[in-house]
Amino acid sequence: MKVLQVIESLTAGGAERLVIELAGEYVSLGVDSHVLCLSSPGPWASRISENGIYVGCLDKRPGIDLRVLPRLRKTIASLRPDVVHTHLFTANLWTRLAGLPRRDWGLVVTLHNIDNWRGRTHLFADSLLAHAADCYVGVSGAVTDYYAGLGLSRSRLATILNGIHSNGELFPQPLTRPVPLLRACGRLVEKKGFALLPSVASFLKKRGIDFKMEIIGDGPERGKIEAAIHLLGLADCVHLLGERDDARRLIGECDVFIMPSFGEGLPLVVLEALHAGRPVVTTDLPGLAGVVDNGAEALLVPMGSPRDIAGAVASLIACPDQARAMARAGRVRAKKHFSIERTAASYLDLYKSLLKSRS
């Protein structure tokens, strides 16, 4: 089987991480695996191209670039994949258009987020192209339900939970160092909620808790976060590390991992922390509801509340034995339900099913 995954660019992000993880796992399973970026390869492209996986690029310009449509059709015709699998709005839109009026390849669209940012134009385009894909896959039950609510037929919808590769590396027990190390990781954009972290740190400091907080990642919110750090007098305990190639190790070495997001489907960075056996404090994202046992495997707090995030972190620091027990349970959950092997196998079963139905 030949599979072509399409995404706008392999920049730092959860969907991009899934593309890379799937591409590698497919190769190990004997699948002819290819990746196509519409805009630019992005900094993560080398992670798979160096393993012999084809990574193409169509040099799409920002916004509506009609040149990409014939380029996309030509590339697909040249590669002749059995299945084209798209990720995120831009790739989902252009690849569905490329398949009209008819195509000889299966088309799977993965829906990564509850995209309530979409305006009328985006929703109208999605509704017009709803029948242009064979299957739409939500990365959590909440994402699937969201798109069903927007009018996508349940018969075209499936749910496949995100997964990541875990090499089984064992990190030091959390909450054993004298000063707890708190870390967060992701793109510094508004919906990720990282601008709340200085306030979280301020609440912890007011409680007299000694700690160090580090934020891994970069983005447009960095200046805002830096200003809040200095305004609240936190320069001694809160630090921005920027983009790091060793983010996985940094997550695995922290004492508490924090995810303050306002909107995710099923955040891979949380799965990373669970796999690493870290106590996790995250917001009560719909995508995590029913997927992680609140209180037993992670602590879920209301979105947008730095006071509640700080309270959850403080409770873990105050009860390290309970925090470590929660981390162990979270790791068991991650290994059982959020492995890339399980996710890839589910997608391959889906591909085979849709190809059989098309034949």
Range of the domain at 256: 181-337
Answer yes or no: is 175 within a domain: no
Question: Which pLDDT score, from 0 to 100, does residue 42 have?
Answer: 87
Residue 309 CA from chain centroid, whole number? 21
Distance (Å, whole) CA 264 – CA 113? 5
Question: Residues 55, 106: one domain?
Answer: yes
Can you list the pairs that 69-78 forms with residues at least 24 positions away whose Cβ atoms lie under 8 Å?
69/94, 69/97, 69/98, 72/6, 72/36, 72/38, 72/98, 73/98, 75/36, 76/4, 76/105
- What total number of domains does the chain contain? 2
Full pLDDT tens readout for the chain, 359 residues = 999 999 999 988 899 999 999 999 999 999 999 999 999 998 888 888 777 899 999 999 999 999 999 999 999 999 999 999 999 999 999 999 999 999 999 999 999 998 777 778 888 888 999 999 999 999 999 999 999 999 999 999 999 999 998 867 778 899 999 999 999 999 999 999 999 999 999 999 999 999 999 999 999 999 999 999 999 999 999 999 999 989 999 999 999 999 999 988 899 999 999 999 999 999 999 888 878 999 999 999 999 999 999 999 999 999 999 999 999 999 999 999 999 999 999 999 999 999 999 88
- pTM of this structure: 0.92
Q: What is the pLDDT of residue 187?
A: 93
Query: What is the rounded (10 degree) CA torsion for 160, 162, 164, 170?
Result: -110
Same structural domain for residues 202 and 309? yes
Same domain, residue pair 247 and 297: yes
Give how far Cα 82 sits from Cα of 133, 159, 339, Å: 14, 21, 25
Question: Quick one: 13 and 156 in the same domain?
Answer: yes
| Residue 104 belongs to some domain of the structure | yes
172 is a domain residue: no
- Asked if 134 and 19 sit in the same domain, the reply is yes
Same-domain pairing of 154 and 237: no
Distance CA 251, CA 169 (A): 12
Q: From the CA atom positions of the chain, what is the Rg in Å?
A: 21
Encoded amino acid at 71, one letter? R
The per-residue pLDDT for 216 is 98
DSSP labels for 57-117? Answer: E--PPSS--TTHHHHHHHHHHHH--SEEEEEHHHHHHHHHHHT-S--SSEEEEEE-S--TT
Q: So what's the pLDDT on residue 243?
A: 92
What's the confidence (pLDDT) of residue 244? 93
Residue 284 lies in a domain: yes
Cα dist from 322 to 32, 67, 141, 303, whole Å = 45, 57, 29, 24
Residues 210 and 310 in one domain: yes
231 and 129 both lie in a single domain: no
Domain CATH for 40: 3.40.50.2000
Sign of CA dihedral 330, 328, 178, 315: positive
| Close Cβ partners of 172 (under 8 Å, ≥ 6 residues apart) | 253
Whether 174 is covered by a domain: the verdict is no
Q: Is residue 171 part of a domain?
A: no
Q: Where are the beta strands (DSSP E) in 254-356?
A: 256-259, 280-283, 299-301
- Structural domain contains residue 214: yes
Same domain, 153 and 212: no
203 and 235 belong to one structural domain:
yes
CB neighbour list of residue 353: distance below 8 Å, 6 or more residues apart? none
Nearest Cα neighbor of 193 from 304, 270, 29, 96 is 304
Predicted confidence at residue 204, as pLDDT, reads 98
In a domain, 176, yes or no: no
Helix (H, G, I), strand (E, B) or coil at 294: strand
Same domain, 99 and 193: no
One domain, residues 266 and 188: yes
